[in-house]
């Protein structure tokens, strides 16, 4: 769909240039049409043909003026001609274009503030107190500072956005605040967190991906797992518990290993915690911003370690109570219906309907369950990677050991 608001912006700016004192109006026309080319727009030459012909402007003509300087001078001209709305629209386009990656003018605050044209553009916007105008197209409306900071994904991005939107602070004040936060950035907090988990009796598993940690513990019925991943962009820690059960290992004809993708049961740590924890976000993860002061990070780590202990006790006690004794007294058809309807009760234990069918097939030596899996596979128009790599070969071979059980970690292992 054509972006009509940008077409209108270009048309109005052609008139602005025509009425300006610019000595090189043809360059300015080339510059604004270069900007239009970045967007999904229709041909606007016909709307202003007479003006373009007056300056002998040719389509797709290359400008001798850089975009920051172009917009700087356009905003000055908007100010001179008292085109307040047009000034606001151009500034909105500039900010949205930077946030969306259309304009690449510097990755951080220091680079932006070092550009004299960008600095002048910001000063003009601040002087004219540009603000969001109701009913403005999304490509032109000034973004909301709070919203953009929330999804910035790091200090560099956050302060680059503040440069364009936080007029209450001078660029010098923003740079000072940014450098202070960088100095307080405590990457060592993650190593401290990992050491704290190990102090709870968890044995570290080496060879993990960056910003990912995994541990295990032995118990009579199998091997426990704890997996924690740090999301630097969204500033949170996400933790899962897993279990390799001795009975299922027998069915799979293998021994316990340390691969998280080979667990049989998996659950988010937060599933067994109260939902009013102030340290958690709406995704069920622990907020963990490494730029915060050490005292705050320590409080977050203490909370995380305490939550892990609570969830570990609750989850594995529940799992051992349910499997295998209670689980195999349930109706597998009912379990599968509930899972397919999107209502996955805690007592389903597994992440996949295939896992339920496999467990009942091996527990009862039940050929009916095997046939149900074959029917499901035959009915699939397009097979998943799990079905192709593991399930189909298993079902084609009589008396084969149970394949890996499908869940999030195995899915990502297959994809890798």
Looking at residue 194, its pLDDT comes to 93
Same domain, 180 and 196: no
Same domain, 245 and 160: no
Same domain, 249 and 164: no
CB 14 within 8 A of CB 40: no
At 49, the pLDDT band (50, 70, 90 cuts) reads confident
Same domain, 259 and 336: yes
Q: Which among 163, 184, 205 is the end of a domain?
A: 184
CB 264 within 8 A of CB 405: yes
Tally of structural domains, the chain: 2
For residue 230, what are the β-bridge partners? 237
Q: Which among 140, 168, 184 is the end of a domain?
A: 184
Residue 200 pLDDT > 90, yes or no? yes
3-state secondary structure of 215: strand
Same domain, 251 and 137: no
Residues 163-198 have pLDDT tens digits of: 999 999 999 999 998 888 777 666 678 888 999 999
Q: Which among 151, 184, 217 is the end of a domain?
A: 184
Same domain, 222 and 169: no
Looking at residue 187, its pLDDT comes to 63
Q: What is the span of the domain harbouring residue 369? A: 188-415
Element (H, E) at 17: helix 4-18
Same domain, 52 and 194: no
Distance separating alpha carbons of residues 367 and 377, to the nearest angstrom: 15
Same domain, 155 and 259: no
3-state secondary structure of 406: coil
Distance separating alpha carbons of residues 78 and 75, to the nearest angstrom: 5
Same domain, 168 and 214: no
- Residue 75: is the preceding peptide bond cis (ω within 30°)? no
Provide the mean pLDDT of the chain. 90
Average pLDDT value for residue range 93-113: 89
Same domain, 219 and 254: yes
CB 260 within 8 A of CB 408: no
Average pLDDT value for residue range 85-98: 95
Residue 310 token pair: 């609570």
Which long-range contacts does 298-307 make (Cβ < 8 Å, 24+ apart)?
Answer: 301/189, 301/192, 301/193, 301/196, 303/277, 303/279, 304/193, 304/196, 304/237, 304/239, 304/279, 305/193, 305/196, 305/197, 305/200, 307/269, 307/270, 307/273, 307/277
Helices within 256-352 (DSSP H only): 294-321, 332-340
């Amino acid at each position: 769909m054509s972006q009509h608001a940008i077409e209108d912006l270009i048309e109005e700016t052609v008139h602005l240039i025509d009425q300006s004192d610019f000595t090189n109006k043809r360059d300015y026309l080339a510059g604004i049409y270069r900007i239009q080319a970045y967007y999904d727009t229709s041909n606007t030459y016909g709307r202003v043909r007479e003006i373009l012909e007056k300056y002998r402007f040719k389509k797709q003509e290359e400008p001798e003026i850089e975009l920051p300087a172009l917009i700087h001078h356009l905003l000055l001209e908007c100010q001179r001609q008292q085109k307040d709305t047009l000034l606001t629209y151009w500034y909105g386009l500039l900010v949205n274009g930077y946030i969306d990656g259309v304009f690449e003018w510097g990755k951080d605050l220091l680079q932006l503030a070092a550009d004299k044209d960008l600095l002048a553009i910001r000063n003009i916007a601040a002087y004219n107190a540009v603000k969001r105008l109701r009913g403005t197209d999304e490509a032109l409306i000034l973004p909301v500072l709070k919203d953009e900071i929330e999804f910035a994904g790091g200090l560099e991005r956050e302060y680059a956005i503040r440069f364009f939107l936080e007029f209450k602070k001078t660029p010098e004040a923003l740079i000072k605040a940014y450098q202070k936060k960088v100095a307080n950035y405590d990457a060592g907090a993650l190593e401290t967190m990992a050491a704290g988990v190990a102090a709870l009796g968890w044995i570290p598993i080496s060879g993990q991906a960056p910003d990912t940690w995994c541990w295990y513990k032995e118990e009579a019925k199998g091997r426990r797992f704890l997996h924690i991943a740090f999301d630097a962009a969204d500033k949170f820690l996400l933790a899962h518990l897993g279990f390799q059960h001795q009975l299922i290992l027998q069915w799979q004809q293998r021994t316990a290993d340390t691969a998280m993708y080979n667990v049989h049961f998996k659950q988010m740590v937060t599933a067994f915690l109260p939902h009013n924890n102030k340290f958690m976000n709406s995704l069920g993860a622990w907020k963990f911003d490494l730029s915060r002061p050490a005292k705050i990070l320590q409080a977050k780590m203490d909370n995380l370690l305490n939550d892990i202990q609570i969830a570990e006790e609750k989850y594995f006690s529940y799992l051992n109570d349910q499997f295998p004794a209670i689980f195999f007294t349930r109706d597998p058809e009912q379990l599968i219906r509930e899972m397919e309807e999107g209502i996955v009760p805690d007592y389903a234990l597994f992440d996949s309907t295939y896992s339920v069918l496999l467990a009942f097939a091996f527990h009862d030596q039940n050929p009916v369950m095997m046939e149900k899996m074959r029917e499901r596979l035959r009915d699939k128009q397009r097979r998943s990677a799990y079905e192709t790599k593991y399930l189909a070969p298993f079902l084609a071979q009589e008396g084969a050991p149970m394949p890996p059980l499908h869940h999030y970690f195995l899915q990502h292992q297959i994809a890798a």
